[in-house]
């Protein structure tokens, strides 16, 4: 009798930078996560509704809308209030940090200050 495999933790990456998205996807996949990628806020909302991820890694500079606006829409959708969100951006303005916190983001990471291993550790710490 085969042991049933534990379902993987799903992480939705909302990131328009293809290189950064690929780096994150490969690192998270190697760490055992199921990875979903979206390149815009609108696509992120759709993929959130379709896949119900456990964690969202959210960039703020997206081609169609600000990531915080995308987060507002996700929070208003079914299951949105409960999803764990980590902002991963190069924007380090205090106002963005405060707004992300107000919208329930659990952490705000400035990309250049964190390695892939540290980002994975942050994801594990919020689960």
Query: Does any domain span residue 19?
Result: yes
pLDDT at 4: 59
Kindly report, residue by residue over 112-126, the tens digit of the pLDDT: 999 999 999 999 999
Query: Does any domain span residue 3?
Result: no
Query: Does any domain span residue 86?
Result: yes
pLDDT at 3: 53
pLDDT at 41: 97
Query: Does any domain span residue 90?
Result: yes
| Helix runs in the chain, H state only | 18-30, 41-51, 67-76, 94-102, 116-126
Query: Does any domain span residue 2?
Result: no
Query: Does any domain span residue 91?
Result: yes
Query: Does any domain span residue 15?
Result: yes
Q: How many domains does the chain have?
A: 1
Query: Does any domain span residue 30?
Result: yes
Question: Which domain covers residue 36, as residue numbers?
Answer: 10-126
Residue 21 above 90 pLDDT? yes
User: SS3 for 63-96, per residue?
Assistant: CCCEHHHHHHHHHHCCCHHHCEEEEEECCCCHHH
Strand partners, 16: none
pLDDT at 69: 96
Kindly report, residue by residue over 47-99, the tens digit of the pLDDT: 999 999 999 999 999 999 999 999 999 999 999 999 999 999 988 888 999 99
Q: Under 8 Å CB-to-CB from 5, ≥6 apart: which residues?
A: none
Q: At 96, which CATH number?
A: 3.40.50.2300
Residue 5 above 80 pLDDT? no
pLDDT at 60: 95
Cα–Cα dist 83/105, whole Å: 9
């Amino acid at each position: 009798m085969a042991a049933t495999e534990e379902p993987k933790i799903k992480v939705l990456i909302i990131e328009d930078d293809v290189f950064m998205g690929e780096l994150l996807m490969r690192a998270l996949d190697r760490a055992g996560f199921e990875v979903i990628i979206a390149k815009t806020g609108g696509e992120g909302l759709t993929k959130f509704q379709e896949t119900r991820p456990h964690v969202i890694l959210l960039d703020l500079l997206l081609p169609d809308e600000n990531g915080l606006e995308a987060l507002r829409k996700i929070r208003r959708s079914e299951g949105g209030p409960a999803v764990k969100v980590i902002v991963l951006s190069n924007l380090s303005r205090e106002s963005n940090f405060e707004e992300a916190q107000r919208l329930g983001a659990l952490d705000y990471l400035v990309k250049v200050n964190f390695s892939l291993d540290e980002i994975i550790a942050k994801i594990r710490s919020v689960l």
